[in-house]
Amino acid sequence: MTVKETDIVEDALLQEGLKKYRKLLRRINDEIWEHPEIRFVEHRAHDLLTKVLEEHQFKVTRNYILETGFRAEFSPESGKYASLGPNVCFICEYDALPIVGHACGHNLIAESGIAMALLTQHVMTECPSRYPGKITVIGSPGEEGGGGKIIMIEAFNDVDVAMMLHPSNKGILHTESICSSRIFAAYSGKRPEETAHYFPSLDRMLPGSESDAAVAAYNAIQVLRAEMPHQWRIGAVIKKIDHSLGLEITYRTLHGADMSVLCARIVKCLEAGGAAAGCQLDWRFTDPYLNMWPNICLGSTVYSYLKRPEILFEYGLNKEFNALLSTDMGNVSHLVPSIHPMYYIDTPTSLHHPDFAKQANTPEAENRMLDCAQAAAHTALKLLRDPNELLRVKKEFLEKKNSAQKDI
């Protein structure tokens, strides 16, 4: 068959698969949306998704690395051709936000991961020898502030390509993101009740040295914010940290190489606050979410298979847009060629807003997601049957990686 004929046959089989699995996919969406679970306690979603994959002949590892993580693999004919081609990975997220539920649309991300896997599987089983390799589904908990993929990063060591689809109030094909991390700083020193006997008339006013340290550090960070490059960001809040007074600081940069530089400067501000007030400083930081490296070749192939690309992606093939968000998918993209397209679900409401959660469970939002899932499955099939396509994707990734290393 010619390439065009192959695409036509695959498209027909994908449509057939979508018809076959449509009710199941909707049930997955509803179940996860109606029972939101926050990071690392997504037990119901974990059990639902793994059960579905087991019922469809995937080899499933439950509680994979994390208690609510999982890994599922499929290659037709008992893996006869698994070692002869690439390992294409689809990613499910399923954690919700506190209070607002699935206001980041992870119900759709979970459904899309299963949809991509089942649709690809449906075509692979029709002609196993034509699609050497295997497909893998990674269940990734705790994206919302937990960095689940960072903890699970070893899961991607044997993956050739990773794909995840994310709903949004903007359609961004080649999603870029920024690096992000947090510092938790706690001061230990004299409390107001410990110093009151020195100033008995001020016992209700004296703030105590922990407060002095936190305020001094906060003011130093304000000065740093005014002096640092405008692409960097710092947010600081004085609060209780580990039963002491301190600061929770979020900091962001465009590039991973800048994160350690900014972290070091923030720590100097924290140390200065402690020294000025005579307090001991204890601090820790979270592993950073790295900036997303969207694989243009891979994303463009997905775009070419979409039925209505202009509706789904306002920022399409030749339009750049940095959403100024952070995601642990960025860490995956530094390890293997990856995409994280953000498709438009017809809402002006931004992510993490209660109204976005409502829109994320509508039939129209699901229809748009399934359009993207079908195109991504078609892309996976092309990677499995066409070694040259995989080479192009990997060539771009290596060029990006080499360029980034030169910038360090």
Q: What's the CA gap between 190 and 200, in Å, rounded?
A: 15
Look up residue 306 and give its two tokens: 């979409």
Please tell me the predicted confidence (pLDDT) of residue 219: 98
Please tell me the predicted confidence (pLDDT) of residue 113: 99
Chain-centre distance for alpha carbon 248: 22
Element (H, E) at 36: none
Contacts of residue 68, Cβ cutoff 8 Å, sequence gap at least 6: 40, 41, 42, 43, 45, 46, 139, 141, 142
- Res. 329: pLDDT tops 60: yes
| CA dihedral sign, ordered 10, 340, 20, 367 | negative
Span 44-53, pLDDT tens digits:
999 999 999 9
Chain-centre distance for alpha carbon 92: 10
Please tell me the predicted confidence (pLDDT) of residue 208: 55
- Res. 338: pLDDT tops 70: yes
Please tell me the predicted confidence (pLDDT) of residue 194: 55
Summarize the confidence of residues 94-100 as an average pLDDT: 99
Count Cβ neighbours within 10 Å for each residue of 84-100 and write b for 16 or more, e otherwise: ebbbbbbbbbbbbbeee
CA 399 to each of CA 20, 174, 320, 379, 396: distance values in angstroms, whole numbers, following the listed order: 40, 17, 19, 21, 5
- Res. 196: pLDDT tops 60: no
> Helix 296-304 and helix 387-407: axis angle, to 10°?
140
Please tell me the predicted confidence (pLDDT) of residue 204: 42
* Domains by residue range for the chain, with CATH: 3-177+291-407 (3.40.630.10), 179-289 (3.30.70.360)
Q: Output the pTM of the full model.
A: 0.93
Q: Which residue has the higher pLDDT, 284 or 191?
A: 284
Phi then psi for residue 246, to 5 deg, are -170, -150
Please tell me the predicted confidence (pLDDT) of residue 321: 77
Please tell me the predicted confidence (pLDDT) of residue 408: 57
Confidence band, pLDDT 50/70/90 cuts, at residue 191: low
CA 148 to each of CA 24, 256, 286: distance values in angstroms, whole numbers, following the listed order: 26, 18, 12
Residue with tokens 């070692």: 83
Q: What's the CA gap between 369 and 389, in Å, rounded?
A: 24
Chain-centre distance for alpha carbon 77: 32
Summarize the confidence of residues 4-9 as an average pLDDT: 95
Q: Which residue has the higher pLDDT, 396 or 197?
A: 396
Please tell me the predicted confidence (pLDDT) of residue 207: 47
* Average per-residue pLDDT for the chain: 94
Span 103-152, pLDDT tens digits:
999 999 999 999 999 999 999 999 999 999 999 999 999 999 999 999 99
